[in-house]
């Protein structure tokens, strides 16, 4: 978690740093800080507890802090409470109070990641006379760089590589050395970091949206590498301090994609971007009505040989896996197991080397998913990643990558990335089914043709948003909401429930409808909202029975079903319809009203939709 930015060039750094941090606030937002150098003068550090706007106001949007080289940080607390003292940047030397103001330190830096052995480093440095001002792991690494820098009288690159050998954990670290004005040094291991190349100026950031406004030309720094940034130039070094080469990559996203574009919240903008995102993802592999996985790198021979599939992911991406399990098993008859990455990595799973592990991740940086990927690779099982962020760690380490084309997703609650992941899984299921001889040509073409109608059908669902807004307002004060469904409808319920709780803070649970009677039904009271999802015809009546059971115990019912099932109105108090589609693809439509429900309840409760409390978008720590 946490977002870091940096700039060196001829322009004023502070406004650029604050602007970059505003695009990274989704990564953490409990405190923020920047350090700026004006020529040879020492760095001036300013930090504030709370949202970035507090810091921006203190600095008159950056105008109050002159200088052309600097670093910035927005924090999601891991070690140490959210406070000004624990906010970054941290400094190597003595500072007053909580580390703000002009600092005579030799090293000033920001960090994203976790230093696992920070206690041991801290104790060592305390014995060597260093004073600590925060409870963070970061302060230890900054002071360790300073320690090696002085003890061995070496340059910044060597001080960093020595530090990298000594610390355990993950880091995207950016530091400025007092003796090297106009220069920024970065080091990376397992945490995201990109470097932007401009005309006479250089940027760094945890994620692309922070620098899109200034450049689309980026370098991806490798794991365990160091870089030296000067205005308009970047030099890379390996752990031995030897210089290495990297080429720039052009980013296709445009800067508009990272702005709200007239919507009140990123989440609503991203909900509305779903038809386009799904269409782009479809277009990336559907050629003349057929699926072509050449860009993913999967050959027909490899597809025929797959003995089993293990899908590994976290959060909403895991929910995509739950849906994909049903679709792949039915269309391609390959056994599929879905696992939470945080469980998989410690479970010593039984994996067949002829199997395929699919890792699903929007950010491509989720720590548990990345660790699961490494575990699978270590056991000799090929890994296919379904990823949104180009050049992310998961994309780089996987054997094959299916890129979803959702564009930058800024709201913490995922919507369009989830929808593109679903489509990617549907495409794989159809192609696997065809290649393995389970789908006749006619059925194969019909499924692809139907999948291509999904973007339009999502747009039709969005037209119903006022009704959902009205209904959500009625339940803005709900204590508990239950989502029930069977089969694929259970998979959708999981996602609907997560959307609800993460942004509206209303307790919600998703239950396989048939499971309610085994305990949970005792929670149903007069007026409890139960949302039944019924898009699968063969399970429709079963779920209706479960809805009737809770209704007779006082539940208030919302039914979510396809047009045509108008008898739902006899059972449910409120019904939302989605266009008819092939049942395998219904999750892509049914999820939309549930995203809107979560959104509108959050808005009605006056909450910060895009930045819900305690959360960060990229969970880059365990
Ligand atoms: O970047 P990833 O797709 O790997 O992230 C996985 C989860 O952290 C993510 O889906 C999370 O559950 C979202 N906040 C849900 O809206």
pLDDT one-digit tens code per residue, 597-616: 999 999 999 999 998 888 87
Distance 602 CA to ligand 1 centre (A): 18
What CA–CA distance (Å, rounded) separates 211 from 169?
26
Q: For ligand 1, say whether the CB of 415 is within 6 Å of any of its atoms.
A: no
What CA–CA distance (Å, rounded) separates 194 from 211?
9
Tokens of 447: 């499924």
Q: For ligand 1, say whether the CB of 612 is within 6 Å of any of its atoms.
A: no
Residues 30/141, Cβ–Cβ less than 8 Å: no
- Cis omega (within 30 of 0) for bond into 372: no
CB atoms within 10 A of CB 104: 12
Q: What is the pLDDT of residue 559?
A: 98
What CA–CA distance (Å, rounded) separates 488 from 474?
28
Q: For ligand 1, say whether the CB of 361 is within 6 Å of any of its atoms.
A: yes
Q: What is the pLDDT of residue 96?
A: 55
Sheet holding 217-220, edge to edge: 101-102, 44-49, 31-37, 69-75, 3-8, 201-205, 194-198, 217-220, 249-250
Residues 229/202, Cβ–Cβ less than 8 Å: yes
Tell me the best of 619, 621, 622 to mutate to test the pocket of ligand 1, counting ligand atoms within 8 Å of each CB and taking the most.
619
Query: In sequence order, what are the beta bridge partners of 203?
Result: 7, 196
pTM exceeds 0.75: yes
Q: What is the pLDDT of residue 22?
A: 92
For the chain, residues with pLDDT lower than 50 are 97-98
Residue whose tokens read 């789908």: 439
Residue bearing the CA closest to ligand 1, atom 7: 315
Tokens of 153: 């009288």
Does residue 617 have an active-site annotation? Answer: yes
Q: What is the pLDDT of residue 97?
A: 47
Q: What is the pLDDT of residue 95?
A: 65
Q: What is the pLDDT of residue 76?
A: 79
Q: What is the pLDDT of residue 190?
A: 85
Q: For ligand 1, say whether the CB of 138 is within 6 Å of any of its atoms.
A: no
Does residue 150 have an active-site annotation? Answer: no
Distance 487 CA to ligand 1 centre (A): 22
Distance 417 CA to ligand 1 centre (A): 9
Q: What is the pLDDT of residue 101?
A: 60
Q: What is the pLDDT of residues 147-180, one digit of tens each?
A: 999 999 999 999 999 999 999 988 999 999 999 9
Distance 271 CA to ligand 1 centre (A): 15
């Amino acid at each position: 978690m946490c977002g870091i930015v940096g700039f060196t060039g001829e322009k004023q750094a502070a406004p650029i740093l604050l602007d970059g941090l505003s695009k990274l606030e989704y990564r953490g937002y409990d405190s923020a800080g920047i350090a700026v150098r004006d020529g040879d003068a020492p760095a001036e550090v300013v930090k504030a507890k709370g949202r970035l706007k507090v810091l921006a106001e203190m600095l008159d949007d950056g105008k109050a802090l002159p200088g052309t080289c600097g670093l910035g940080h927005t924090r999601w607390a891991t070690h140490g409470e959210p406070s000004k003292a624990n906010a970054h940047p941290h400094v190597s030397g003595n500072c007053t109070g909580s580390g703000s103001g002009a600092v005579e330190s030799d090293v000033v830096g920001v960090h994203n990641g976790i230093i696992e052995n920070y206690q041991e480093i801290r104790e060592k440095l305390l014995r060597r006379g260093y004073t600590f001002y925060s409870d963070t792991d970061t302060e230890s690494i900054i002071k360790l760089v300073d320690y090696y820098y002085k003890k061995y009288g070496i340059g910044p690159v060597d001080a960093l590589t020595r530090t990298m050998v000594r610390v355990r954990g993950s880091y995207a670290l950016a530091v400025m050395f007092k003796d090297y004005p106009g220069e920024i040094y970065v080091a990376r291991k397992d945490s995201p970091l990109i470097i932007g190349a401009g005309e006479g100026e250089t940027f760094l950031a945890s994620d692309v949206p922070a620098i899109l406004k200034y450049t689309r030309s980026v370098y991806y720094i490798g794991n365990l590498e160091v870089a030296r940034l000067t205005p308009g130039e970047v030099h890379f070094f390996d752990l031995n301090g030897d210089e290495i080469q990297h080429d720039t990559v052009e980013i296709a996203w445009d800067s508009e994609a990272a702005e709200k574009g007239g919507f009140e919240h990123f989440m609503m903008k991203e909900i509305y971007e779903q038809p386009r995102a799904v269409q782009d993802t479809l277009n990336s592999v559907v050629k003349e009505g057929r699926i072509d996985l050449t860009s993913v790198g999967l050959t027909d021979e490899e597809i025929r040989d797959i003995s089993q599939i293990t899908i590994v992911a976290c959060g909403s991406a895991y929910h995509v896996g739950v849906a994909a399990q049903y679709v792949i098993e039915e269309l391609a008859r390959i056994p599929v197991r879905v696992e939470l990455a945080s469980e998989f990595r410690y479970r010593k799973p039984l994996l067949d080397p002829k199997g395929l592990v699919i890792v699903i991740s929007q950010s491509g940086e989720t720590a548990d998913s990345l660790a699961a990927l490494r575990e699978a690779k270590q056991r000799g099982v090929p890994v296919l990643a379904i990823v949104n962020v180009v050049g992310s760690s998961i994309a780089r380490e996987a054997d094959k990558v299916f890129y979803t084309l959702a564009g930058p997703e800024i709201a913490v609650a995922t919507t369009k990335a989830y929808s593109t992941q679903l489509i990617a899984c549907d495409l794989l299921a159809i192609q696997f089914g065809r290649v393995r001889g389970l789908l006749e040509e006619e059925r194969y073409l019909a499924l692809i043709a139907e999948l291509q109608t999904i973007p339009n059908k999502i747009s039709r669902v969005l037209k119903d948003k006022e009704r959902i807004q009205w209904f959500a307002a009625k339940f803005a004060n709900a204590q508990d909401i239950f989502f029930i469904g069977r089969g694929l409808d259970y998979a959708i319920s999981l996602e609907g429930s997560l959307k609800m709780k993460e942004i509206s803070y209303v307790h919600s649970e998703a239950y396989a409808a048939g499971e309610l009677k085994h305990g949970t039904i005792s929670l149903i009271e007069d007026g409890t909202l139960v949302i039944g999802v019924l898009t699968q015809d063969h399970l429709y009546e079963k779920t209706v029975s479960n809805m009737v059971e809770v209704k007779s115990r006082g539940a208030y019912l919302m039914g979510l079903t396809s047009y045509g099932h108008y008898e739902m109105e006899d059972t449910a108090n409120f019904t939302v319809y989605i266009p008819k589609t092939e049942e395998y693809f219904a999750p892509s439509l049914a999820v939309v009203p549930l995203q809107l429900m979560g959104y509108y309840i959050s808005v009605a409760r006056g909450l910060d939709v895009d930045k819900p409390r305690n959360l960060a978008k990229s969970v880059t720590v365990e």
